[in-house]
Amino acid sequence: MTETQQSYQKREDVPEQYCWNLEDIYISEEAWEKDFQAVSKLLNELKHYRGQVLKSAENLYQTLVLKDEILMLLEKVTTYAMLHRDENTGNQHFQGLADRVTALSVQVESRLSFIMPEIISLELAKLQSYIESKDELELYRHFLDDALRQKQHFLSPEEEEIVAQAGEIAQAPRTIFSLLTNADMEFPQIDVAGEKKQLTQGNFVGFLQSTNRETRRAAYDALFQTYTGYANTLGATYGSSIKGDMFQARVRRYNSALEAALDPDKIPLSLYDNLLSSIHDHLPALHRYMELKKKVLGLNELKPYDLYVPVTGDSKRKPSVEEAQSTVIQGLSVMGEEYIERLKKGFKERWLDVYETKGKRSGAYSWGAYGVHPFVLLNYQHNLENVFTIAHEMGHALHSYYTNENQPYVYSHYPIFLAEVASTVNEALLFKHLLNNAEAEEKASLLEKNLEQFRATVFRQVLFAEFEKKVHELAEAGTPVTPDKLNEIYGHLLEKYYGSALVVDDYIRGEWARIPHFYSAFYVYKYATGFSSAVALSEKLAQKDQTAKGHYLQFLRSGACDYPLEILKKAGVDLSTGKPVDEALAVFEQRLEEFETLLEKQID
């Protein structure tokens, strides 16, 4: 085992080059403390503008500048504390810093709460006169226009405070769901090749990927038996969440919970409906994929616990992190010299925290603060999946880097609707590079990975999105949403999406009960639109289309300076029609054909 393939128990054992350099945020904790205290001082300055925001153009401008200064500083001290905490969640000192910034964030939110109600009382003509008399306000035009666009959905300051308090109550279903499923539920042990293994939420999918069908079945039965025992509680919990969505929509004068969820990003209802329609048109391809999976696995019946097992086996690649980074650089070379130099800069200048150590937060993410480069947390394992993880997280990181370099703070946080585009573009380009250089056996494995991405990120998420739409419409029409009704709706959708190849049993009809995303209503459709947009963009980029590359780099620079659909349209993806989704699903069908051909050759 080489130096770069070692694993480490303690953080202090990890060589410096594999640890992020948080001194790029603050050279010392004393410097951090100084900025932490500065936030409170700025909040004291802010109080002079309460009730005076619209007194003059100068007052409006100074309020917005001070708000941004406070939020920038809060973001910086928060990032430093949280990243240090995630290095070792058992470190009580950094947990203390994290607790302090959390409390400070609540204080900041409270102190800033008067600004938006005052701004939305502004008339459009008055806003225009302010901008004409104060050139610096032009910077905030989109921010102010967007606030006034939603004016009818804001209430008086007193009513907003009541709604905010109700909002805390509305979070209860999500909290209850999380505590019940993560803390209180006890899952049994299962038999794995004659040995008892404890089933958990975390290892469930791993068991479903086992080549031993009895292991898959045992894990599936054990998990869903447990959930079934809580069906009434989970049904009531989800039902309460739906009522909370309805309350928020009605009190803000929206016609439906769906409309209320889409409007902040200025997404028309037609986009949601077009997405469902496009997916429905391409369901025969998913049915075909399911039939193929059933055939290759040699099954008389394809059960829900058979969906996750790979039919091509695992990749034999065991790359070091240096080899992974080199592969990512090669895979993204079509992005051009500027992008690659920034990618290399991130690898060289310790943006990444690479290895898993005791107490380190699990998973992977990209996080940062305005004015400082992004940071990427990894828990690198020596497999191909983690090569894709590096490409994905560096996609997020460079999206933030380009945005922060080109946008003022007010537009530096690109919306969730756009968040997964850059990361998925990187994965798509890396996939194409690996596929073009793979032998037949690995090519089949890569194609299966990509088909599974389509299944999980597009088809499955849109199934979720259609389920949410149906159950909210029922509740808004006054129909009681019971566990039996939820099972019925979810089961019918499974049959529709997966076709006759999949056996839809009573357990899987109740799968809605374990999906945490349902407690953030109408969120999951963004996975499908983001993935479809990324496929469309990556197809053009892979052809070394210089115009497409220029438009894409401008997309990365845009942040939130416009509405998400407009930013995507300038990049060459018009989601107001169903065309990008249809084109992405055509890619799915083409790769399915290629996968079928490869498997037939291997079987022969």
Q: Max CA-CA distance within the chain?
A: 80
Q: How far is CA 600 from the centre of its chain?
A: 36
- As to burial, measured by CB atoms within 10 angstroms (0-12 exposed, 13-18 middle, 19+ buried), residue 251 is middle
DSSP codes, 355-402: S--TTPPPS-EEE--TTS--EEE----SSHHHHHHHHHHHHHHHHHHH
Dihedral of alpha carbons 553, 554, 559, 560, sign: negative
Q: How far is CA 170 from the centre of its chain?
A: 22
DSSP codes, 266-287: T--HHHHHHHHHHHHHTHHHHH
Helix (H, G, I), strand (E, B) or coil at 521: coil
Amino acid (1-letter code) at residue 540: K
* Angstrom distance (rounded) from CA 204 to CA 202: 6
Neighbours of 521 (CB within 10 A): 22
Residues in the chain: 604
- C-alpha distances out from residue 177 to 31, 173, 181, 330, 486, Å: 40, 6, 6, 43, 16
Beta bridge partners of 192: 195
- Among the options 75, 118, 393, 466, which is catalytic? 393
Tokens of 142: 């989109």
Tokens 């894409």 locate to 552
Amino acid (1-letter code) at residue 596: E
**Is 427 in the active site?**
no
Going by C-alpha positions, the residue among 310, 335, 326 that lies closest to residue 553 is 335
* Angstrom distance (rounded) from CA 386 to CA 485: 40
- Which active-site residues does the annotation give? 393
